[in-house]
Structure 1
Amino acid sequence: MLIKEVETIKSIKPLTPQQQRIDTLKQQVKRSQEAVKAERQRQQVAKAQQQLQKAGAVKP
C-alpha cells in the first residue's frame, strides 16, 4: 500500500443502535428484493418448461 492510500482511508466509527437497526432493515430489504426476483425467475422458467412439455405432447 502506498502512503497516500493509507491517508485516504477514513476511520469507520461504530454505529449507534438506531443506525444499526436501520442498516439491518436496509439489508433485509435488499435480501427480500433479491428473493422476489429469484422467485419470479424460477416461476418463469417453470412456466416455460410446462409450455414446452405441452407443445411436445400435442404433436402426434
Structure 2
Amino acid sequence: MTADSPRWFKSSYSSNGGDCVEVAANIPGVVPVRDSKDPHGPALAFDSPAWSSFVSAVKGGEFPA
C-alpha cells in the first residue's frame, strides 16, 4: 500500500451487512467512496468541500429516508 492508497472504512451504522458504502479519508483534498459489496469495482471521488457539504446535509435531514 502506498501513501496515496485509500484506507477504506465503513460507518459504524453499517452493521446490517447489506447496502453499505466505504469511504477513505486519508487522501488530502479528495474523498473516495465505493460500494462495500464491490471493493474492486469503481469508486467515486469527491473534493473535500463537496463531501463535507453532503455529510452536513445528511446530518441536517435534507435527504429524508
Normalised to the residue count of structure 2, the TM-score between the two structures is: 0.27
Structure holding more strand per residue: 2
Q: Which has the higher contact order (CA 8 A, sep 6+)?
A: 2
**Larger of the two Rg values belongs to structure:** 1
